[in-house]
Amino acid sequence: MLKWICIAPLVIIAGCSKGNVATSPSGPVGYAQPAAGAPVTGSNPEPVAPGTPPPVDTFSASASSNAVIPSGTPLHVRVDETIDTRRNRPGDGFTATLSEPVEFGGRVLVPAGTEFRGHVTTASASGRMKGRAQLGLALDGFRLNGRDYRVTTTSVERVSASHKKRNGWLIGGGAGLGAAIGAIAGGGKGALIGAGAGAGAGTAGAAITGKKEVGIVAETPLRFTLRQPVAL
């Protein structure tokens, strides 16, 4: 009897302690479990509120971008310097600045302000009495995000006006002036001689001053077209 009297209090104390211990059906003891419906943090993505727009697709030129500027795309630039047939020769280089961004598929592939390189394809003055001055330019490439890209484009041509109207005015005007002077000096015969002399002088003047040049001043807007696609 005395034995049971000693054991009974111990059994009662053990039972009370067991009832006060919190149990966790799915996790280790000592870690609180998330409430029902609470967002789960960690490796899972954060919830997105309804109506949130998708992220903007921005382009960054890299080896894995797979962006391509297609053939036929226009390139609008402004030349950074004056180029003309007086001082430039075929093969001379020049620089130009992109004035309008190159866009494709809803993305800006090459932003405005990008510097392009080019070269003079043709540069020749006219003859003294005939022919026209010609100047041609083409783009060779550009630099974007630290990388150089080559391009093949159409050429932009500039051609001077014809000599015919100007030569006719100089030669005809010289003949008329010579005939007038000859008529004053020696009558009809003098007029014929004067006309011939005046025509010769007009022709000589046209030959001396008739060489034409053509040029493109700095900041002139030009439009080139890609002949081949460019992979970025």
User: Which residues of the chain fall below pLDDT 70?
Assistant: 1-65, 127-130, 162-210
User: What was the pLDDT predicted at 52?
Assistant: 60
pTM over 0.75: no
Right CATH number for 68-163+212-231 from 3.40.50.720, 2.40.128.260, 3.30.1490.20, 3.40.50.300? Answer: 2.40.128.260
139: nearest Cα among 229, 87, 77: 77
Q: What residues does each domain of the chain span?
A: 68-163+212-231, 164-209
User: What was the pLDDT predicted at 160?
Assistant: 82
User: What was the pLDDT predicted at 37?
Assistant: 52
User: What was the pLDDT predicted at 63?
Assistant: 43
Under the phi-then-psi rule, with left for phi > 0, alpha for psi from -120 to 50, and beta for the rest, what region is 111?
beta
User: What was the pLDDT predicted at 125?
Assistant: 86
Residue pair 144/110 in contact (Cβ under 8 Å)? The answer is yes
